[in-house]
Amino acid sequence: MSSVKPYQYNGPTGHFINGSFTSGSGSATIEVINPATGELLATVPDGTAEDVDRAVQVALEAYRTVWRRVPQREKGRYLSRIADRLEEEAEDLALLETMENGKPLAQARMDVGEAIRNYRYYAGVADKVEGVTIPERDGLFDYTIREPYGVVGSIIPWNWPPMHTADFTAAPLALGNTVIVKPAPETPLTTLRFAAIWQEILPPGVINVVTGAGVPGARLVEHPDVRKIAFTGHDSTGALVAEAAGRLVKSVMLELGGKNANIVLPDADFDAATQGAFNAFIKNTGQACTAGSRLLLHEAIAPRFLARLKELVSGVTIGPGWDEANTLATLASPRQYEKVRDYVKIGEDEGATVFHRGTLPDGLPNGFFFAPVIFTDVTPEMRIWREEIFGPVLVVATYRTTREAIFLANDSDYGLTAAVWTTNMMHANRLARELEAGIVFVNNYANSTFLGAPFGGFKKSGVGRKLGLADTIMEFTQSKTVRTAIAPVDLDEMDRYYAKQNGGRP
């Protein structure tokens, strides 16, 4: 069994405001712990409204006097340089994410790689933001331009720190905004390491970071000079964000939860579908809004499918994320551990069958490890079917008809992702149209990278889209129409005009 890996965090620990790290205005702090061991990694400020106000003032000044004036192509060069530096620090950043988030190191490397690609992608987008022209009429000619909002407040969660940090800084910056990032209190260190790179490259104030729990995020949403909020988190918090932003008529993008249906039709490729269903709920220890946490099996294939799925789940190796032999690591925090544990108890009390309950190996560090659980005989009224658990817990139901499968899949408050497994693409395309989800996987459950494709959900899964080219441009800019006069089509009229200007001479 893996021993505790010695690790010393040597990066910044303060707010990042106006290009410098600072302790902030308050005395309260937050302890950042390694969830695999319970050991203290660092202490960061628990930010105040005053800290946010200062960051907003700085970001607004940087927007008005510096960043808005930087040519778009030059903005792209800044982002490319950030990507280069992230690439140089990639292994250290991946290990840091594993230490503060708990996930397996191989997955952390993928997260950092995606963050690098994100900066490179939007570096290329920066000088390709275009408007439209509108046909002339009545002596008028209109065209549109896309303009930044100004200051964007980015409130990010703890489950993918490098990717979320990149998602909500690279695109807004490329499109001309300045940014204030409020990382999750569980995982601020990855964002602060990014800030050390921003400090080297960007003008002061273009990106700022305020660490803390609830107060900084609430103040960002309420601040009148923050004109756009990009929030990722639980739907209940997202509703509060939308309510507060609505009072100020402020634009919001909400990336919220999911309780995603994974439908396996009788003709599915058995090996691909079982492996896909396994990956869909195990990856990131189930702590993914895109996780395939509801499995819908046709009753004809359910017994064989479940038997194979149990074999796959029984084969996971559980342990600290830094040991690359482990495929399942720790949950990210004690609060998340308690939540997942409580939901398993709820499922048992509701009458669901525990088809499989994994066991933890001996000798684990004193962390928040949780073995996978598979529930069968789950019915739609059960809380474990309807509510987001965010852990390695899979709930399974069977169906007889395709209509029943679609009904079960759509009978949810959420609509982020769904999946269909079948060898008949005509059927897959029909189900993709019927499913109420922002993303539909067909014969895959590739929930690790979406860069270049629109990401977002229906219903309580959120509002707005990120990562897709056109969608992201629309998300972080606003349209301005410029109306001008245009000369008549009679070109002789122009000559008469110039003749008049020339004293009547032709």
Instruction: Report how far residue 365's alpha carbon sits from residue 33's, in angstroms, rounded to the nearest whole number.
Output: 13
DSSP one-letter code for 255:
E
DSSP one-letter code for 5:
P
Backbone φ and ψ of 241, nearest 5°: -60, -45
Choose the catalytic residue: 114, 289, 436, 475. Answer: 289
Give the tokens for residue 156: 């990010």
Q: Which amino acid is at 17?
A: I
Conformation bin of residue 317: beta by default, left when phi > 0, alpha when psi is -120 to 50: beta
Instruction: Report how far residue 180's alpha carbon sits from residue 160's, in angstroms, rounded to the nearest whole number.
Output: 18
DSSP result, 128-177: -----EEEEETTEEEEEEEEE-SEEEEE--SSSHHHHHHHHHHHHHHTT-
Q: How many residues does the chain have?
A: 506
Distances in Å between the Cα of 118 and the Cα atoms of 94, 113, 115, 122, 173 are 16, 9, 5, 6, 12
Three-state SS for 1?
coil
What end-to-end distance do the CA atoms of the chain give, in Å?
95
Backbone φ and ψ of 29, nearest 5°: -135, 165
Choose the catalytic residue: 100, 114, 186, 255. Answer: 255
Q: Is-catalytic flag, 74?
A: no
Three-state SS for 276?
helix
Place of tokens 């988190």: 233
Q: Which element (helix H / strand E) includes 57?
A: helix 49-65
Contacts of 504 (CB under 8 A, 6+ apart): none
Q: Is-catalytic flag, 387?
A: no
DSSP one-letter code for 468:
B
Give the number of other Cβ atoms within 10 Å of residue 33's Cβ. Answer: 20
Residues paired with residue 415 on neighbouring β-strands, in sequence order? 458
**Catalytic positions, please?**
255, 289
